[in-house]
Amino acid sequence: MRLLILGGTEFVGRAVTEEASARGWDVTVFHRGRHAAPPGVAELLGDRTAPDGLAALARGAADGPGWDLVVDTWSGAPSAVRDAARLLAGRAGRYMYVSSRSVYAYPAPAGLPEDGPLVTGASPDAGGDVPYAQAKRGGELAALDAFGDRALLARAGLILGPGENIGRLPWWLGRIARGGPVLAPGGPDLDLQYIDARDLAGWLLDAARAGLHGPYNLVSRPGHTTMGRLLEACVRVTGSGAELRWVPEEAILAAGVEPWSDLPVWLPPGELYDTLHRGDVERAHAAGLRCRPVEETVADTWTWLEKLGGRAPQRPDRPAVGLDPEVEARLLGSA
């Protein structure tokens, strides 16, 4: 199989690139050159937001045999997906766009499948600064416009694992590694949904071979793990002896702490929790999605962090996450 990945040097894109290389696929990455590509892949350099930024990709498409599969992880203006997809429509067999469950109209009720209502106002021609949900839906529309039933829309949920450059699991690991009392939000039995980037990558490549198309919600089943299991795994792998102190959600919210951003991954029960942690994923699981245990994801992420000296990379277009230590101390002192 010949794979072209648009990106391919960070987190999800890199996981796809490494999985395809491990399978013996012929891999080409098109990227800006800001990060080193995995070894053994062909490279095309260009910035898809710049004038004539697809020139190297156009030459590669014209000069080579084409690709069986394109994987696109773009999360900016949909016009960038539109331009790349149109360029590649005649030179690639299938196009997989890594989208997001944010494309569903909010609030998405618990158990919402792929045919649920979608956000309005999205356009494949939108450029500039586009809200995330509309940007992802616009990217979907661009992929469908160019590839039709040769396009797959991978609507991923929360993504964790080695290489994470958003900072959610790395923040928890770093905080727990420091030891001492640790504010644990809500209760340990709260169900979580997420997907390890490596499981997402493997499913995408399997789906390409199977000729799948259309939208798929890609995340673990509800209850694949819990907040307690996630944080307890962090305590074990760091060996810090940290003490998890479970603080009621009412006290956390009353202190002005923001779920998801101040306390990554965690959401109190409600509309946003239903949207992000209670989605219907049976279509993807019926098509072969398998999610590894949370303990493996946590352990491998910690191993990766240790190799980096404990400091994870941070995407420049995403805000840093994590709870202010002074706020944590006040909440722990009053709990």
pLDDT of the residue at 335: 61
pLDDT of the residue at 317: 81
Percent of the chain having pLDDT more than 70? 100
* Burial (Cβ within 10 Å: 0-12, 13-18, ≥19) of residue 21: middle
Q: Cβ neighbours of residue 124 under 8 Å, at least 6 residues apart?
A: 78, 79, 81, 82, 138, 139, 141, 142, 145
| pTM of the full structure | 0.96
pLDDT of the residue at 98: 98
pLDDT in tens, 286-324: 999 999 999 999 999 999 999 999 888 888 888 899 999
SS3 track for 222-234: CCCEEHHHHHHHH
pLDDT in tens, 73-102: 999 999 999 999 999 999 999 999 999 999
pLDDT in tens, 124-136: 999 999 999 999 9
Q: Indicate the CATH number for domain 2-156.
A: 3.40.50.720
What is the residue extent of each domain of the chain? 2-156, 164-192+223-278+292-334
The full DSSP string for 175-213 is HHHT-SEEEEES-TT-EE--EEHHHHHHHHHHHHHHT--
Residue type, 96: M
pLDDT of the residue at 316: 83
Q: Which residues of the chain have pLDDT under 50?
A: none
